[in-house]
Structure 1
Amino acid sequence: MALKNQLSIILLLIVTALFSGQTLAERHGHEYFVVKDIDIQLSHQADSDELRQAAEDSADDFREHHHAVTHRRPATYLR
């Protein structure tokens, strides 16, 4: 009988711990986002990766262009 009471208390604590995290997160200004569909999440990640890659490529092109332009200029020395 004592073992059954202990298991009931443990189960109750686990269930309340699982639900309290979501409740407290909403109360303290944190937003809880539910993922409606895994395809939507994967699509969003793919779009984010594509945008990140485009930004990195653009930055690399700009660095190469800047490097080429600065090396064509004659050296200036301050006196």
Structure 2
Amino acid sequence: MTLELALTSNVQNSAAASSREDPIHRLVESGVPITLNTDDPTVSNTRLSVEYRVAAVAAGLAPQRLLEFSAAAAAASLHRQ
């Protein structure tokens, strides 16, 4: 199972107090495959490129993690149920 997370939306809807405190950190450390998403870009006023910037700058995730998120998205898109 791969989880889709939207850091900006999580802060906006109070699921996390900040991107640095987002559950993404615990999930990544637990080995859960993660993809970054925009949730609803018209409501959250964001784009996928912004979510990656938020992940790097505000959440403090390493560039290698960002590559892992992209790889997880590609792998999940190919998974057939």
Verify same fold: TM over 0.5.
no
Larger RCO of the pair (alpha carbons < 8 Å, separation 6+): 2
Rg: which structure is higher?
1
Using structure 1 for the length normalisation, give the TM-score: 0.24
Which protein has the bigger helix share? 1
Which protein has the bigger strand share? 2
